[in-house]
Amino acid sequence: MSAVPQQTSTLAELRAVQGGPREAQLPAIRAGFGDLQGFELAQRAAKAMAASTLVPQQFQGNLPNCLIALEMAQRIGASALMVMQNLYVVHGRPSWSAQFVIACINQCGRFSALRYEWTGTEGKDDYGCRAWAVEKATGEKLLGPLVTVKLAKDEGWASKNGSKWKTMPQLMLMYRAGAWFGRTYAPELTMGLQTREELQDVIDIDDDGNVMTSTAELRGGTSSGEVVADPLAGEQRIAPADLPETGADPFVADMERAEKAQQ
């Protein structure tokens, strides 16, 4: 009686047969807020980023901020690290850098590279800029809103402390024109957020996002109890007009002492 030939298989082949089809049927898990597994994966990624010293300071050791940055990166299809490096918090509000908005427009695939048209005379109030691009789906040339030096002066952008409109108006015109093009033709890329440069034009802040003010501005220069609108907080506050010269408010008193020391 002849012997039955034995079939041999390697361990790798057995694993491929046993685990291959089952693993192929498993859905891919993506980091996000849609389900428990995705949220757990997002937390793991955010924890690793929060422990890094290469991310900006507002994300270091801050797991919630890293989670939000990951969510924003997924929505616009950008790198999480790129989002962190270009997301600024100005007076409690997140904002993009103008360069990042322009980069998103150039890389989204819907338009040609952003270009600029100039009007008026350089150095004059009529000097202006508008951004334009060609929509690839239709071949139509899309023109963004016109931004001029006169507009910057009328809106008070050029009168802010440390305003770049006074020293580099051409660059500021291009930044504003590019940001406005994105807001009008691709608002999903900016997610409704303003640029850092726009917020700097609304309120006096330094390069680190710190609000610059004085004791006179804190006192409001108004009568007691008058309501003063806060342009960024979206709410109203009572002007502290009746504060005594020193001592009533420690913060105001410290600023007064600092101002006197500088005189």
Amino acid 162: pLDDT:
80
Q: 3-class DSSP state for residue 80?
A: helix
| Inter-CA distances, 2 with 5, 200, 234, Å | 9, 91, 91
Amino acid 15: pLDDT:
58
**Tens digits of per-residue pLDDT, 71-130?**
888 888 888 888 898 888 777 778 888 999 999 899 889 999 999 999 999 999 999 999
For residue 7, name the pLDDT band (cuts at 50, 70, 90): low
Other C-beta atoms closer than 10 Å to the C-beta of 31 total: 21
Tell me the pLDDT of the chain averaged across its residues.
Answer: 75
Which residue has tokens 């899309």?
A: 142
E strands in 74-127: 87-90, 93-96, 115-119
Is pLDDT of 139 > 90?
A: yes
Lowest pLDDT segment from 137-146, 190-199, 239-248:
239-248
Is pLDDT of 254 > 90?
A: no
**Mean pLDDT, range 205-222, rounded to an integer:** 46
Is pLDDT of 17 > 60?
A: no
Amino acid 228: pLDDT:
37
Q: How far apart are CA 39 and CA 42, in angstroms?
A: 5
Partnered with residue 230 across adjacent β-strands are: 235
Other C-beta atoms closer than 10 Å to the C-beta of 144 total: 24
Q: Which amino acid is at 99?
A: Q
Q: How far apart are CA 2 and CA 70, in angstroms?
A: 66
| Inter-CA distances, 38 with 43, 44, 70, Å | 9, 10, 12
